[in-house]
Structure 1
Amino acid sequence: MTLQQLQSNFNNQLKSIYPKEEIGSFFQWLAEAYLGYSRFKVSEKKDEEISEKNETQFLSALTRLMHHEPIQYIIGETEFYGLPFKVTPAVLIPRPETEELVAWVLEEFKNQEPENSILDIGTGSGCIAISLARYLGNATISALDISEAAIEVARENSVINKVDVNFFQADILNAETLPQQYDAIVSNPPYVRQQEKSKMQPNVLQHEPEVALFVSNEDPLLFYRAIARLAKKHLTSDGTLYLEINEYLSKEMQQMLQQEGFAEIALKKDIFGKFRMLKCKLYSY
């Protein structure tokens, strides 16, 4: 089978499931992963015969795509903030809006001296913590997660990106203390309400870890409240809490944080104009 025939097969098999542009992107990801071919080279080598091994890899990926498995899990990696990250079904696939949260923290801490201490709560793949460690040479970065499997993936990603991050396991819903004081605490916790599942794609619902995504309709701010209470004890006097939030719950978030003793609450919109980020400080009496 030639590369062109293989691509045609992909288009025919997936056209009833995905948009044409997305199918093209899938094929390019796989060509890069399995053949090392750029988009230009795929076009240049369209008449090249594919080896049996590579054909098997592509057809296996095709079957998995037909079952809505995310392409990132199929090839086992993705990119976040310009850095490579291994991903497995044990961790959430990093989102572009989380890159915006990282950019906000970097903007405010990149020129600060002396050394700052920053904690990432619910690290998953380690994308937030590792990106901060990579681009903030003057900071000590720590990260926690409830999942041992997630921490193992995050540790591998710290090695891939040649950064030092202090990883540890903890359940923030039951934790009463953290190891030290921090100049910033950053988190992208579970915030999608069960009632919002109908708006989500099958590839997310069927394959990404529910524990990293969903909260109950009755108490959607459960994790934020726990983070806020830990932050009250473990932020330095001028420390800042940064959160990725549910776009539908920004007012509720502000009210909760005010009740928990936080001030200077600033909401930030993502590139789509939705309130998806928030920062605040402890109220100074």
Structure 2
Amino acid sequence: MTRRALFLSLCEPLVPLYGQEEARAVACRVCERIGGFTRLDAAVEPLAEVAFRPGCDERTVRRMVGELAAGRPVQYVLGAAPFCGREFRVGEGVLIPRPETEELVWWIVSDYRSVRPLRLLDVGTGSGCIALSLALELAGAEVSGVDVSPRALAFARENGSLLGAAVRWERADVLDADDPWWRGGDRWEAIVSNPPYVPASDRASMHVNVRDYEPGEALFVPDDDPLLFYRAVARRGRETLAEGGRLYFEIYEGLAAETVRLLETEGYTEVELRCDMNDKPRMIRCRKMT
């Protein structure tokens, strides 16, 4: 199979689902992963024979095309997603890392690069992408990641092992005020969370590859209480943040002002709202009132 043939066999079936540009991006990602060539390589030598990676062949291509055309995310098909310059293992049951979340990580890194001792907590850690990136970028920091999902924690532990990063993983439910983990006496310089924030009423309008495959418990919140996770994390933060400690959140752009007001009501100061690379209000930093 030539490079051009592989690219077209992947791209063309995906156009009805994704549109031309995104279909090309997905096809390029698969070509690079299983065929070892980039879009530029395909343009320069389109008729070169594909040197498939070990364990991959034309049968693998047909299987992947079927899964991708059905809407299964390319990250699940490949079993990996990029984040902060590294690859993270992902699959059904764990939220796929997004590029926008990287901006939140770099904000924290820039704030704490020279701060030691440093203890950080990632609430709703999922694949562990935030916690592990912080541990790897902030040498010497003590980082913990908690999640209510055993499956998500299994992915986080695997990623920690693959990346060689020391993060403490624990099962904890931030919505359960009686969860004993929160009474363990730990104190954090910063707590970060990318919690569920998409109103349930948005589900119908979401793309099939998100709506039908990614875990709903990591995405959706009730329409009548869309900020429940922010409220819960803020209250745990009041109990467990060190003096002057900070909260960092990824937020739902449609409720940015409401999230700021909630954090102020919960007793936080210096509430700063930031826009992401697409100029959408998607990140907040605030400080525990002293």
TM range (shorter): over 0.9
What is the distance in 1 between the residues matched to 2:136 and 2:60?
Answer: 33
What is the distance in 2 between the residues matched to 1:49 and 1:217?
Answer: 49
Contact 2:6 2:31 in 1 (8 A): no
What is the distance in 2 between the residues matched to 1:49 and 1:263?
Answer: 57
Secondary structure at the aligned position of 2:57 is classed as helix
Give the structure 2 partner of residue 91 of structure 1.
Answer: 94
Aligned pair partner of 2:248 in 218, 242, 249: 242
TM-score, length-normalised on structure 2?
0.92
* Cα distance change of structure 1 residues 151 and 49 upon mapping to structure 2, 3 Å threshold: closer
Give the structure 1 partner of residue 164 of structure 2.
Answer: 162
* Cα distance change of structure 1 residues 60 and 241 upon mapping to structure 2, 3 Å threshold: same
Secondary structure at the aligned position of 2:17 is classed as coil
Of 258-267 and 63-72, more deviation after overlay is shown by: 258-267
What's the offset of the Cα at 1:178? 4.6
What's the offset of the Cα at 1:234? 0.1
What is the distance in 1 between the residues matched to 2:5 and 2:38?
Answer: 18
Give the structure 2 partner of residue 123 of structure 1.
Answer: 125
Instruction: Work out whether 1:9 is the aligned partner of 2:12.
Output: no
Give the structure 1 partner of residue 35 of structure 2.
Answer: 35
Instruction: Work out whether 1:220 is the aligned partner of 2:226.
Output: yes
Aligned pair partner of 1:172 in 165, 171, 174: 174
Give the structure 2 partner of residue 282 of structure 1.
Answer: 288
Give the structure 2 partner of residue 46 of structure 1.
Answer: 47
What is the distance in 1 between the residues matched to 2:271 and 2:67?
Answer: 43
What is the distance in 2 between the residues matched to 1:31 and 1:270?
Answer: 29
Structure 1 unmatched runs, 5+: none
Give the structure 1 partner of residue 72 of structure 2.
Answer: 69
What is the distance in 1 between the residues matched to 2:187 and 2:70?
Answer: 45
Identity of aligned residues (%): 39
What's the offset of the Cα at 1:175? 4.1
Of 83-92 and 5-14, more deviation after overlay is shown by: 5-14
What is the distance in 2 between the residues matched to 1:116 and 1:132?
Answer: 11
What's the offset of the Cα at 1:250? 1.6
Give the structure 2 partner of residue 23 of structure 1.
Answer: 23
Of 142-151 and 39-48, more deviation after overlay is shown by: 39-48
Secondary structure at the aligned position of 1:65 is classed as helix
Runs of 4 or more, structure 1, over 6 Å off, are 49-52
* Cα distance change of structure 1 residues 178 and 185 upon mapping to structure 2, 3 Å threshold: farther
Q: CA RMSD in A?
A: 1.8
Give the structure 1 partner of residue 215 of structure 2.
Answer: 209
Length, aligned pairs only: 283
* Cα distance change of structure 1 residues 6 and 32 upon mapping to structure 2, 3 Å threshold: closer
